[in-house]
Amino acid sequence: MQEQPASQQDYSLGIIPPVQPKAPWRVKSVEALDGFRLKITFMDGLEGFADLSTLVSSQDAGVFAPLAQPNRFREVMVESGAVAWPEGPDLAPDALYNSISKQGIWIA
């Protein structure tokens, strides 16, 4: 195998655009609120809330248990169109969308 000279760069990574989910039920933005709640905006403009207060304090919280720490909960982000936390759980965007479109809120 022949090595590339150090002056040559591999531009192939710049050719493939990043994934940009566009389905209406994909999450566009998320904001952590007090009381372990989230404000979620979807790609089609639908907005609503997710209430995780019962889940994170439950004895059966499992992978969601670390989110009971407010600082950790506030690390929420959008990753590939889903609500997620760094090195942690994520929430199914289609389930969030279905509940929020009907009731304005998803309760875990």
Q: Is the pTM of this model over 0.75?
A: yes
CA atoms of 97 and 86, how far apart (whole Å)? 22
Express each pLDDT in 25-58 by its tens digit.
899 999 999 999 999 999 999 999 999 999 999 9
CA atoms of 74 and 16, how far apart (whole Å)? 31
Q: What are the C-alpha distances in Å from 71 to residues 5, 16, 32, 47?
A: 46, 35, 10, 24
In the chain, what are the domains? 21-107 (3.30.2020.10)
